């Protein structure tokens, strides 16, 4: 195919093709992302119809073919934005979600210790740990994951973003990390029940790592039970536990933390009005 040199015409062509497999507003947004990624063409450039001298240098047809199979655009382009930072993502890690940015913000608002020790369990791409370190350079931040592939991506992101973050490979269901007493333990663990899979989009089910997403319906809080226990061993008195949760499991998660001995257990909704985060303080 011969691609138009008019940025506006190319954006429209990409939008038309993408709209076959996604809502039109999403197609428009993804077309802008493609132009920015391959040509450095932004929204304003498109509005003034900036000329692209050689559009054929980019593998646009390959990108469109992959997107037509519902592969997430973040995997196709190889990056996602989180807390204003660009993170490399691969199918080894979950794509960072906007609501998780709210967990980062809540952690910053909660932890008052200027040189805090903070652990992120299930770090994946490192987006939570790295964002906290970049926003709070005096904090000592650790990112932990069971997956060596995920930790490789996290290390690459830390190096690219110049974040001095420490990394640990541990299966928390089997082992306990050895760390100095922590001021905060943060986590966005697997919490989607297998029975909820039918509600999810194909681009999530077919491409994102299932072990980072799903839990058995018979034990939907298995990671929260373990994280709550680890908090009793790793947190300083007065230290904080902050987690993202399944919106359908808010009351159960609150009860779990209270029964484990935490105080000031608080449920917080995200910007969409869904139960999304829980914060608890160790006594």
Per-residue pLDDT at 226: 98
- Is 116 within 8 Å of 95 (Cβ atoms)? no
Tell me: do 97 and 187 sit in the same domain: yes
Query: Is 244 a member of any domain?
Result: yes
Instruction: Provide the pLDDT for residue 29.
Output: 96
Does one domain contain both 57 and 136? Answer: no
**Residue 80 belongs to a domain:** no
End-to-end CA distance of the chain: 65
Q: Do 257 and 176 lie in a common domain?
A: yes
CA atoms within 13 A on the CB side of 229: 11
| Model pLDDT, residue 125 | 98
* Total tally of structural domains belonging to the chain: 2
pLDDT digits (tens, 9 = 90+) for 75-98: 999 999 999 999 999 999 999 999
Looking at the structure, do residues 64 and 123 belong to the same domain, yes or no?
Answer: no
Do 177 and 248 sit in the same domain of this protein?
A: yes
In a domain, 138, yes or no: yes
pLDDT score, position 146:
97
**What tens digit of pLDDT does each residue of 177-227 get?**
999 899 999 999 999 999 999 889 888 999 999 999 999 999 999 999 999
- Give pLDDT, residue 202: 85
Nearest to 231 by CA among 189, 168, 181, 173: 181
Q: Are residues 153 and 262 in the same domain?
A: yes
Domain-terminating residue out of 35, 69, 103: 69
Q: What is the CATH number of the domain that holds 261?
A: 3.40.50.150
Q: Tell me, yes or no, whether 84 lies in a domain.
A: no
Within this chain, do residues 58 and 113 fall inside the same structural domain, yes or no? no
| Residue 167 domain-assigned (yes or no) | yes
Tell me the pTM: 0.95
Over 90: is that where the pLDDT of 19 sits? yes
Q: Residues 82-139: pLDDT tens digits?
A: 999 999 999 999 999 999 999 999 999 999 999 999 999 999 999 999 999 999 999 9
Query: Average pLDDT of the chain?
Result: 96
Domain assignment present for residue 78? The answer is no
pLDDT digits (tens, 9 = 90+) for 157-170: 999 999 999 999 99
Locate the DSSP E strands across the chain: 79-82, 85-88, 117-121, 140-145, 166-169, 182-187, 192-193, 214-215, 235-244, 263-269, 275-281
CA 154/CA 101 separation, integer angstroms? 17
65 shares a domain with 99: no
The more confident residue out of 57 and 243 is 243
Looking at the structure, do residues 189 and 106 belong to the same domain, yes or no? yes
Same domain? 100 vs 186 = yes
In a domain, 61, yes or no: yes
Does some domain include residue 30? yes
Residue 1's pLDDT is what?
A: 77
Q: What is the pLDDT of residue 152?
A: 98
Dig out the tokens for 135 from the structure: 């926003």
Query: Which residue range forms the structural domain that includes residue 258?
Result: 93-281
- The reply to whether 184 and 250 lie within a common domain is yes
**Backbone torsions φ then ψ of 79, nearest 5 degrees:** -155, 160
104 and 184 share one domain? yes
Quick one: average pLDDT of 13-20?
Answer: 96
């Amino acid at each position: 195919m011969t691609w138009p040199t008019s940025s506006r015409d190319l954006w429209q062509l990409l939008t038309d093709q993408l709209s076959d497999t996604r809502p039109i507003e999403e197609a428009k947004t993804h077309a802008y992302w493609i132009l920015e990624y391959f040509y450095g063409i932004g929204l304003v450039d498109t509005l003034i119809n900036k000329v692209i001298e050689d559009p054929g240098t980019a593998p646009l047809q390959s990108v469109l073919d992959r997107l037509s199979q519902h592969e997430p655009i973040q995997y196709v382009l190889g990056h996602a934005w989180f807390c204003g930072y660009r993170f490399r993502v691969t199918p080894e890690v979950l794509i960072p979600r906007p609501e998780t940015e709210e967990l980062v913000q809540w952690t910053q608002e909660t932890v008052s210790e200027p040189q805090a020790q903070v652990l992120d369990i299930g770090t994946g791409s490192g987006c939570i740990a790295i964002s906290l370190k970049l926003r709070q350079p005096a904090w000592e931040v650790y990112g932990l994951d069971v997956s060596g592939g995920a930790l490789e991506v996290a290390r690459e992101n830390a190096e690219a973003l110049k974040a001095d973050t420490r990394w640990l490979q541990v299966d928390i269901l089997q082992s306990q990390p050895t760390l100095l007493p922590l001021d905060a333990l943060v986590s966005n663990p697997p919490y989607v029940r297998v029975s909820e899979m039918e509600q999810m989009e194909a681009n999530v089910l077919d491409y994102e790592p299932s072990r980072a997403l799903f839990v058995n319906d018979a034990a939907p809080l298995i990671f929260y039970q373990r994280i709550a226990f680890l908090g009793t061993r790793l947190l300083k008195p007065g230290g904080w536990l902050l987690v993202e949760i399944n919106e359908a499991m808010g009351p159960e998660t609150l009860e779990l933390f209270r029964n484990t001995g935490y105080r000031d257990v608080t449920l917080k909704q995200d910007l969409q009005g869904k139960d999304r985060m829980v914060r608890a303080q160790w006594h």
